[in-house]
């Protein structure tokens, strides 16, 4: 008695086809064997599946049951094979009962779901990737747990059936009950919920401007200032000025979070950009991604959004250094014994740090207690190559009492977001048909085309480069920031005011901070 049906294996954020083959033969040794390079969770499926069969009103096989997950050289991970294994057992046991409808229907769908001992289904990782795979293979649809159905339904042209139990899945495939496809959720862009507003920020006009430029062009940002200067307060309000993602960006964001095990209700709400803020004790793997079967880390979970690193020098040096290549390429390649995957990680790095270990270097109201050697060691925790990849360095000075007492509200997040969105719309139109979506993602050819400057501005930039001993990478990044400043001003060409503002954002290159 043999039955075959289709499931999938999650590799990074993509899914690959897995054939679930069930063979049941009468034998004196009624064992349940799972082969095909399964991990521990897959091997333990036998107890879950057999209990789910009995508690769902079906008979369990009292014979030797062999489950083969093909291809055999692809490592299988997680409990998503519970449902297809259980349905395959039912198909193999009823082979002689003439249930051709049920057996034929198994070939039309990709099936995935974890089973509880009662037979109810539980959510899985990667439902969106599984639905995409089903569409590529020309399948009629997918069967997934109800918690995963909304995200899978975002894939156009594939029927997504939410099955809450083994019994429901069996009766649907057997033609006993109808099961309407799950409708796709609303994909309208949404801005972040009110978690504070920029109007609440006292003073810090230069810092507010730098943040606006950074978000408008997707530039990396470093804020430097003493404790209490408002760095974290501003960072928490950055989501309120971020432009809404496009539909394609929303699907990419959701696909990564789905692969990380977050359903549509638990992941970043559809139509919003992610904001990740890991603690400084995070490991290299937690930041970069990894695992026995490589999965997304914090930099990938921040794709098309913000990665906020507070107290930047307190992060492990090795954890910061692994971000150098992803910051440059927008992707990260992770190699493990189980395989190699490439994950997207095009994010905006927003970071904050104190000017010295005690935090009060340059503060007129507090005396710095740090020796020069301590300050040097503290700042050297951030390597030059990493700092070179941060486009904007901006000071966050301590606020005066007069600024704190000022009752006049600052500019609102809505007003700033309107300018940011207008600037980002210009960039989307400019880069239409290319991989770039923002000025910070421009290639060298695009920089030459869209950031062209006349000889006078060229001489100005050359003089600044020579005086500040800037690298070639800093040269390109100054031009990119200049282009963003021009976009915010609605200017077609980069002008001297735009270029000068971009140059003054290279503060650490000039050693201006105290």
Residues of the chain with CATH 3.30.230.10: 2-173
Least Cα distance to 347 among 295, 285, 302 occurs for: 302
User: Computed from CA positions of residues 471, 473, 474, 478, in that sequence, does the dihedral angle turn out positive or negative?
Assistant: positive
Q: What is the DSSP letter of 71?
A: S
Least Cα distance to 392 among 210, 207, 225 occurs for: 210
Q: What is the mean pLDDT of the chain?
A: 88
| Distance, CA of 270 to CA of 249 (rounded, Å) | 10
CA atoms in the 13 A half-sphere facing the CB of 280 = 13
Least Cα distance to 218 among 446, 495, 490, 477 occurs for: 477
Residues of the chain with CATH 3.40.50.300: 198-438
Question: What is the reported pTM?
Answer: 0.86
| Distance, CA of 67 to CA of 23 (rounded, Å) | 7
pLDDT at 192: 57
Alpha helices in 158-303 (DSSP H): 166-173, 205-217, 231-237, 247-259, 284-288, 298-301
* Phi (first) and psi of residue 43, to 5 degrees: -60, -35
- As assigned by CATH, the class of the 198-438 domain is alpha beta
pLDDT at 189: 64
| Distance, CA of 262 to CA of 278 (rounded, Å) | 17
User: Computed from CA positions of residues 157, 300, 225, 215, in that sequence, does the dihedral angle turn out positive or negative?
Assistant: negative
Checking 245-250 for CB contacts under 8 A at 24+ apart, the result is: 245/189, 245/271, 245/272, 245/273, 245/304, 246/189, 246/428, 246/437, 247/187, 249/273, 249/304, 249/437, 250/187, 250/189
- As assigned by CATH, the class of the 2-173 domain is alpha beta
Least Cα distance to 304 among 215, 388, 413, 416 occurs for: 215
Q: What is the DSSP letter of 95?
A: G
Give the chain's residues under pLDDT 50. Answer: 96-98, 512, 514
What string of DSSP letters covers 380-392? TTS-HHHHHT--E
| Distance, CA of 71 to CA of 312 (rounded, Å) | 44
175: left (phi over 0), alpha (psi -120 to 50) or beta: left
Residues in the chain: 514
pLDDT at 479: 95
């Amino acid at each position: 008695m043999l039955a075959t049906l289709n499931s999938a294996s999650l590799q990074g954020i993509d899914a690959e086809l897995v054939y679930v083959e069930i063979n049941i033969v009468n034998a004196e040794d009624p064992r349940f064997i799972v082969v095909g390079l399964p991990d521990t969770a897959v091997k333990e499926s036998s107890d879950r599946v057999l209990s789910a069969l009995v508690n769902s009103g079906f008979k369990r096989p009292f014979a030797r049951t062999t489950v083969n997950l093909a291809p055999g050289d692809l490592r299988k991970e997680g409990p998503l094979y519970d449902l297809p294994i259980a349905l395959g057992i039912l198909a193999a046991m009823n082979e002689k009962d003439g249930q051709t409808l049920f057996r034929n229907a198994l070939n039309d769908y990709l099936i995935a779901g974890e089973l509880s001992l009662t037979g109810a289904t539980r959510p899985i990782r990667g439902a969106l990737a599984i639905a995409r795979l089903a569409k590529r293979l020309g399948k009629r649809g997918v069967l997934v747990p109800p918690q995963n159905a909304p995200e899978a339904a975002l894939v156009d042209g594939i029927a997504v059936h939410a099955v809450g139990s083994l019994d429901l899945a069996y009766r649907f495939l057997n033609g006993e009950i109808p099961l309407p496809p799950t409708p796709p959720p609303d994909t309208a862009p949404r801005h972040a919920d009110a978690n504070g507003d920029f109007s609440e920020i006292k003073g810090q006009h230069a810092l507010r401007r730098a943040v606006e430029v950074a978000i408008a062009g997707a530039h990396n940002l470093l804020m430097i200032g003493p404790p209490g200067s408002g760095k974290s307060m501003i960072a928490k309000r950055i989501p309120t000025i971020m432009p809404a993602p496009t539909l394609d960006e929303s699907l990419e964001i959701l696909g990564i979070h789905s692969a990380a095990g977050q359903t549509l209700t638990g992941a970043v709400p559809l139509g919003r950009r992610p904001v990740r803020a890991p603690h400084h004790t995070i490991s290299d793997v937690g930041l970069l991604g990894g695992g026995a079967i490589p999965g997304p880390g914090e930099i990938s979970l921040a794709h098309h959004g913000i990665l906020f690193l507070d107290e930047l020098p307190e992060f492990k040096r090795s954890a910061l250094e692994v971000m150098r290549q992803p910051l440059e390429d927008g992707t990260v390649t992770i190699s493990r014994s189980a395989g190699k995957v490439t994950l997207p990680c095009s994010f905006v790095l927003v970071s904050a740090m104190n000017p010295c270990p005690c935090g009060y270097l340059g503060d007129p109201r507090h005396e710095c207690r740090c020796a020069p050697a301590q300050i040097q060691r503290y700042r050297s925790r951030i390597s030059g190559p990493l700092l070179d990849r941060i486009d904007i360095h901006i000071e966050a000075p301590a606020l005066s009492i007069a600024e704190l007492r000022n009752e006049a509200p600052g500019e609102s997040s809505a007003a700033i977001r309107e300018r940011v969105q207008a600037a980002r719309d210009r960039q989307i139109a400019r880069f239409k048909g290319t991989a770039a979506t923002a000025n910070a993602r421009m290639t060298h050819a695009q920089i030459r085309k869209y950031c062209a400057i006349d000889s006078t501005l060229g001489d100005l930039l050359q003089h600044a480069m020579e005086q500040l001993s800037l690298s070639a990478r800093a040269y390109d990044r100054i031009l990119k920031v200049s282009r963003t400043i021009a976009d915010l001003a609605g200017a077609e060409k980069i002008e001297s005011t735009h270029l000068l503002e971009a140059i003054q954002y290279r503060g650490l290159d000039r050693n201006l901070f105290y």
